[in-house]
């Protein structure tokens, strides 16, 4: 039995009648702590991860489609969660709020760290249309696509990061432990050393004497950078660099455009109006430059213009994307155009990830080999020069 057949049975589980799509209540905007201290000092996690939200959404759709009311399904999911887990806390809180008379969308809006505005507004649209199961399925597909994108990007970056870390550790180990031992041997022989060897010994002594200063400076810079990147100017500068940086711009930009297209398509397909869809898309995208362009487009759409025009004039989106969007607007089928845009840039992201991994591996090998080779050549030149002078 579908969710639509159960709408008249909401009172049995304490669910409130469906409401028309609107903005979340003001109370939902208040940030909640990820951890909550229970009586006796135990800590209860109150925020689910993205993967947990994906599983929660899929299981909730299955239970409602099987004939359970919303309250029964949430209670069943709460009982499945382990004691102290985020799933148990969130599901039980949602169930309690529904029993007290709140709608499901308003209950989700009280957990902004678990359910972003996209989620609660989609649920609100599902309540208004009576197609809750379909909305939950689309949300599940949306979360699964985004999770696959993040996994691909992390997978592409993991190998280079590991290789780079090992290279840095190897160089630091050589400067701290190996070079000082050779220096003692060279000093005892009293021979003149070649320039590369002197440069290497100077770098080793500087790192030994001022290593802690460099570490403290690096920590201070990291803290300052972390604080600066949260400011508006910092986010715009860093996210703009991501869209233009060599090698990674193809991955970051294509992933952002694909995610944006799928998000807009999901919202518009479920009855969310264009202005609200642009607002939610800007809040859920992870790029400040794109969010700013969407905010500007939203203001101009209010004046009666199309979406593609303001997006094209912002300069943050490629011409191909805005042209495809304009065609969808002219044909009156925005959802289909956004679907094609999402698929196109998802393929671009996959191709750019392959190019990135294929190009970065030899670059890192050459870089690390150059550093290690310089150390080896500097030591060997000193050894040969000392041997020649002794001979």
All domains of the chain, ordered by start, with CATH? 3-130 (1.20.81.30), 142-391 (1.20.81.30)
pLDDT of 331 above 50: yes
Task: In whole angstroms, give the CA distance from residue 15 to residue 107.
Answer: 10
Average pLDDT of span 231-254 = 84
Average pLDDT of span 369-379 = 85
> In the structure, what pLDDT confidence band is assigned to residue 34 with cuts at 50, 70 and 90?
very low
pLDDT of 30 above 50: no
> In the structure, what pLDDT confidence band is assigned to residue 217 with cuts at 50, 70 and 90?
very high
For residue range 63-79, list pLDDT tens digits in order: 998 888 888 999 999 88
For residue range 109-164, list pLDDT tens digits in order: 888 888 888 788 778 877 876 778 888 888 888 788 778 877 877 777 777 788 78
> In the structure, what pLDDT confidence band is assigned to residue 18 with cuts at 50, 70 and 90?
very low
* Confidence at residue 28, expressed as pLDDT on a 0 to 100 scale: 37
* Confidence at residue 86, expressed as pLDDT on a 0 to 100 scale: 85
Written in H, E and C, the secondary structure of the chain is: CCHHHHHHHHHHHCCCCCCCCCCCCHHHHCCCCCEEECCCCCEEECCCCHHHHHHHHHHHHHHHHCCCCHHHHHHHHHHHCCCCCHHHHHHHHHHHHHHCCCCHHHHHHCCCCCCCHHHHHHHHHHHHHCCHHHHHHHHHHHHHHHHHHHHHHHHHHHHHHHHHHHHHHHHHHHHHHHHHHHHHHHHHHCCCCCHHHHHHHHHHHHHHHHHHHHHHHHHHHHHHHHHHCCCHHHHHHHHHHHCCCCCCHHHHHHHHHHHHHHHHHHHHHCCCCHHHHHHHHHHHCCCHHHHHHHHHHHHHHHCCCCCHHHHHHHCCCCHHHHHHHHHHHHHCCHHHHHHHHHHHHHHHHHHHHHHHHHHHHHHHHHHHHHHHHHHHHHHHHHHHHHHHHHC
Looking at the DSSP bridge assignments, the partners of residue 43 are 37
* Confidence at residue 303, expressed as pLDDT on a 0 to 100 scale: 62
* Confidence at residue 97, expressed as pLDDT on a 0 to 100 scale: 92
* pLDDT > 70 fraction of the chain, expressed in percent and rounded: 87
Q: Which of 184, 183, 208 is nearest to 379 (CA)?
A: 183
For residue range 254-279, list pLDDT tens digits in order: 888 888 888 888 788 877 788 888 88
pLDDT of 223 above 90: yes
* Confidence at residue 366, expressed as pLDDT on a 0 to 100 scale: 85
* Confidence at residue 21, expressed as pLDDT on a 0 to 100 scale: 41
Average pLDDT of every residue of the chain: 79
């Amino acid at each position: 039995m579908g969710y639509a057949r159960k709408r008249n049975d909401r009172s049995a589980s304490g669910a409130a009648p469906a409401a028309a799509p609107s903005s979340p209540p003001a109370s939902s905007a208040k940030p909640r702590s990820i951890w909550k201290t229970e009586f006796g000092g135990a800590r209860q996690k109150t925020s689910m991860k993205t993967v947990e939200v994906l599983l929660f959404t899929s299981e909730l759709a299955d239970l409602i489609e099987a004939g359970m009311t919303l309250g029964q399904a949430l209670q069943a999911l709460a009982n499945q969660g382990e004691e102290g887990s985020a799933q148990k806390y969130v599901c039980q809180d949602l169930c309690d709020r529904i029993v007290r008379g709140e709608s499901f969308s308003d209950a989700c809006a009280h957990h902004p760290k678990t359910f972003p505005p996209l989620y609660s507004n989609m649920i609100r649209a599902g309540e208004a249309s009576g197609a809750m199961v379909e909305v939950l399925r689309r949300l599940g597909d949306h979360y699964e696509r985004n999770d696959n994108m993040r996994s691909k990007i992390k997978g592409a970056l993991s190998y280079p990061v590991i290789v780079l870390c090992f290279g840095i550790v190897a160089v630091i180990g050589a400067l701290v432990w190996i070079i000082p031992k050779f220096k003692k041997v060279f000093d005892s022989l009293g021979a003149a050393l070649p320039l590369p060897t002197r440069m290497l010994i100077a770098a080793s002594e500087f790192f030994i004497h001022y290593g802690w200063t460099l570490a403290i400076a690096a920590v201070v810079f990291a803290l300052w950078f972390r604080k600066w990147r949260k400011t508006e100017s910092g986010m715009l500068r860093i996210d703009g660099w991501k869209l233009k940086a060599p090698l990674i711009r193809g991955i970051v930009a294509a992933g952002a455009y694909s995610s944006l297209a799928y998000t807009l398509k999901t919202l518009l397909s479920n009855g969310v109006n264009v202005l609200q869809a642009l607002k939610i898309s800007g809040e859920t995208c992870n790029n400040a430059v794109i969010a700013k362009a969407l905010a500007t487009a939203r203001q101009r759409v209010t004046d009666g213009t199309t979406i593609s025009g303001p997006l094209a004039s912002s300069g943050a989106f490629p011409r191909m994307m805005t042209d495809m969007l304009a065609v969808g607007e002219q044909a009156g089928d925005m959802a289909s155009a956004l679907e094609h845009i999402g698929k196109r840039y998802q393929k671009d992201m996959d191709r750019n990830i392959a190019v990135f991994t294929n190009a970065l591996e030899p670059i890192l090998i050459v870089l690390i080999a150059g550093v290690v080779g310089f150390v080896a050549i500097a030591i060997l030149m000193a050894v040969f020069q000392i041997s020649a002078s002794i001979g």
